[in-house]
Amino acid sequence: MIINLLRDVQLRGAMFEDGARVLLRHKNENNFVFCVNKFDSLIEIVDKYRLNCSLVQDAFSFFYVNKCLCDLVEFVVDDTTARNVLKINFYDVKTRRLDSERKYFETCVSNHDFMKNMQSKGFNVFIMSIILFENWEFSFNVHEYASVFLRIYDSTNKKTVDFQRK
């Protein structure tokens, strides 16, 4: 079976979310980067990897209710033996083809609300952009969520809600 990832957006998203986790671990030299869809909550990650985390409990609760609204979570620790969590970063992975003419990122209303809410709670929020080239190469960049140009859409009403640069 031959699958064209340039055209199959759903499969491309799933594959590059996991790939983005590996890239981010390598780039940041941090093994505590996780795909959120593989866990039920942040508390599950903290318990499983024996992280010492005293960050705000309401953010953990909010994340539990809205967990599928970002793709990656990164726990920045002071060192790997004590595993004291200094901060938590949230990432939304976006892929596009090089020949795409749009100069903005697309996100749904609920995803945008989640990212803004986590940002307002003091967490760092990013978009990890992956651009696919025709020859099996790709590039990636990490952008602060507040600095990118967004098209926010409402998938239930099938309409654009807003274009904004935060």
Average pLDDT over residues 90-119: 87
Note whether residue 114 is domain-resident. Answer: no
Note whether residue 115 is domain-resident. Answer: no
Whole-prediction pTM: 0.86
Question: Tokens at residue 82, please?
Answer: 């004590």
Note whether residue 105 is domain-resident. Answer: no
Provide the number of structural domains found in the chain: 1
Note whether residue 84 is domain-resident. Answer: yes
Tell me the three state secondary structure of residue 117. helix
Helix residue ranges, H only, the chain: 9-28, 42-48, 57-65, 109-120
Domain that holds residue 70: 9-98+123-145
Note whether residue 21 is domain-resident. Answer: yes
Note whether residue 91 is domain-resident. Answer: yes
**pLDDT tens digits for range 31-79:** 999 998 888 878 888 889 988 887 656 566 666 666 668 899 999 998 7
Note whether residue 71 is domain-resident. Answer: yes
